[in-house]
Chains A and B, each alone.
Chain A
Amino acid sequence: NAGVTQTPKFRVLKTGQSMTLLCAQDMNHEYMYWYRQDPGMGLRLIHYSVGEGTTAKGEVPDGYNVSRLKKQNFLLGLESAAPSQTSVYFCASRPGQGLSGANVLTFGAGSRLTVL
């Protein structure tokens, strides 16, 4: 039972490079989220999706893009990485509204990104 899997776990980029973080869940969850976690800031929502083919902006969306082409996958892209995007990124998912366990998030283990 894998739950939420994030790849890669670690990555170092140079300023201006692009990359994609992959999040995969095997629980048939409708909702998926990308957060970043920085010291003293807590978890902040970047983008989220309430279903396949849908995405929406969260609290800190600038500099990031996302796609949800398949229900089980949620991709987070950085088109031109900046040092301010150095952070730990967490993906999370949960069932749709009204379903059992709808309010509990299942998180991935995190992806640590460093931008030089």
Chain B
Amino acid sequence: KNQVEQSPQSLIILEGKNCTLQCNYTVSPFSNLRWYKQDTGRGPVSLTIMTFSENTKSNGRYTATLDADTKQSSLHITASQLSDSASYICVVSVGGRSGTALIFGKGTTLSVSS
């Protein structure tokens, strides 16, 4: 069964600290993995996409990694800011299909406090 598991479920950190969110997947065939950020009361917004051949990709203070062998991805946030408080959702695309071929994780809720 295609599944995406995220950990931790929630996380509280102090402003300025770094943190890492995890995403493990059992999706086959794998096409790509995307991280979304969802602010409270808003829809998710794409942060970055990882394809099979990519190991690391950065978007400002966000760095995503992908290990296709172990089927794990991480999202590292550097020097956290209050505005980073949000839910982070990992979404894996199933290769070779369309329509419903997106498997969602349940998200990690990050709270950054001052």
User: Of A48, A58, A103, which contacts B31 at CB under 8 A?
Assistant: A103
A92 touches B (CB below 8 Å): yes
User: Of A31, A59, A104, which contacts B49 at CB under 8 A?
Assistant: A104
**Complex Cα spacing A59 to B31, Å:** 20
User: Of A4, A50, A97, A105, which contacts B102 at CB under 8 A?
Assistant: A105
Main SS at interface, chain B: strand
**Complex Cα spacing A76 to B46, Å:** 24
B: interface residue count bin: 20 to 34
Which B residues from 23 to 40 make CB contacts under 8 A with A? 31-32, 34, 36
Q: Which of B13-21, B58-66, B73-81, B92-100 contacts A (4 or more CB under 8 A)?
A: B92-100
Q: Which residues of B contact A58 (CB under 8 A)?
A: 100
Q: Which residues of B contact A45 (CB under 8 A)?
A: 100, 102
Q: Which residues of B contact A104 (CB under 8 A)?
A: 34, 46, 49
**CB–CB A48/B34 < 8 A:** no
Q: Nearest 4 A-B pairs (CB), nearest first? A: A107-B43, A42-B106, A43-B104, A104-B46
Which positions in A face B, CB cutoff 8 Å? 4, 31, 40-45, 48, 50, 56, 58-59, 90, 92, 97, 103-105, 107-110
Which positions in B face A, CB cutoff 8 Å? 31-32, 34, 36, 41-46, 49, 89, 91, 93, 98-100, 102, 104-107
